[in-house]
Amino acid sequence: EIVLTQSPGTLSLSPGERATLSCRASQSISSTFLAWYQQKPGQAPRLLISGASNRAAGIPDRFSGSGSGTDFTLTISRLEAEDFAVYFCEQYGSSPWTFGQGTKMEMK
Amino acid sequence: QMQLQESGPGLVKPSETLSLTCTVSGGSIDTWYWSWIRQSPGKGMEWIGYVYYSGSTDYNPSLRSRVTMSVDTSKNQFSLKVISVTAADAAVYFCARGPNSSGFDIWGRGSLVTVSS
């Protein structure tokens, strides 16, 4: 199975700052099948990005995704208070579909 | 707008069977894949398996011997059964639409399952 490793584990930033989250795969995956999710406490994950770079409906343009092969990045250009949450990457190109362990974005 | 809602017992005894149902509202279960995903502090997010509206399935090899999924298109529901549960099966269980071209694009709110005698 494809293992996804996210870094950093925790990111401490202030509103207005730029956030860069990394997701590295144990083997190459098609960028068509890489997604990012946001999860807040007690809630289900919300799809942010699919196909490595395509924002889901209703997702603000401050969220962007990039990458290919084994290295993928989620960037939040200017953090807002509502963005402090846990972020997961996930690959859906090869069964079993797998998730990264998450990056917790906390307010500094 | 399509919504998913998990239902089932929140407490299961060790060695017994965990059973959950996901009800799809605001849209048809037809033409989609439907998954169960669980989340626990120890294992993180784990995809359990999917059932297609036609009834075909695919399961995570780590759970394949203990998992069964089914779909009831007449009720717009799909279900999960996990036999011989242990403490390691304690988690929040989510149902979700997918995998599709966007991954898992709609999720239920989750159902907490505790395993205890």
**Chain A within 8 Å of B44 (Cβ-Cβ)?**
yes
Q: What is the mean pLDDT of residues B60-89?
A: 97
* Min Cα–Cα distance to chain A from B109, Å: 5
Residue A54 CA to residue A52 CA, distance in Å, equals 6
The amino acid at B35: S
Residue B7: its pLDDT value, please?
A: 97
* Confidence at residue A62, expressed as pLDDT on a 0 to 100 scale: 97
Position A31 pLDDT exceeds 80: no
pLDDT at residue B43 in the model: 87
DSSP 8-state symbol, A33: G
Residues of A in contact with B107 (CB under 8 A): 44-46
Chain A residues whose CB is inside 8 A of the B60 CB are 96
Residue with tokens 């205890």: B116
What is the chain A residue with the closest CA to B59? A96
* Tens digit of each residue's pLDDT (9 = 90 or more) over B25-74: 999 999 999 999 999 998 899 999 999 999 999 999 999 999 999 999 99
Q: What integer pLDDT is reported at residue B28 of this predicted model? A: 94
In the structure, what pLDDT confidence band is assigned to residue A54 with cuts at 50, 70 and 90?
Answer: very high
Which residues of chain A have a CB within 8 Å of the CB of B44?
99-102
**Chain A hits for B108, Cβ within 8 Å:** 44
Kindly determine whether residue B44 and residue A102, on different chains, have CB atoms separated by under 8 Å: yes
Q: What is the mean pLDDT of residues A33-57?
A: 95
Q: What is the mean pLDDT of chain B?
A: 96
- Is the pLDDT at A84 greater than 80? The verdict is yes
Q: What is the pLDDT of residue A32?
A: 81
Cα–Cα dist A39/A21, whole Å: 14
How many Å apart are CA A18 and CA A26, to the nearest integer? Answer: 27
Tell me if A19 sits within 8 A of A86, measured CB to CB: no
pLDDT of residue B42: 84
The pLDDT assigned to B45 comes to 96
Query: pLDDT tens, B1-16?
Result: 999 999 999 999 999 9
Q: What confidence tier does A30 reach under pLDDT thresholds 50, 70, 90?
A: confident
Share of chain A above pLDDT 70, in %: 100
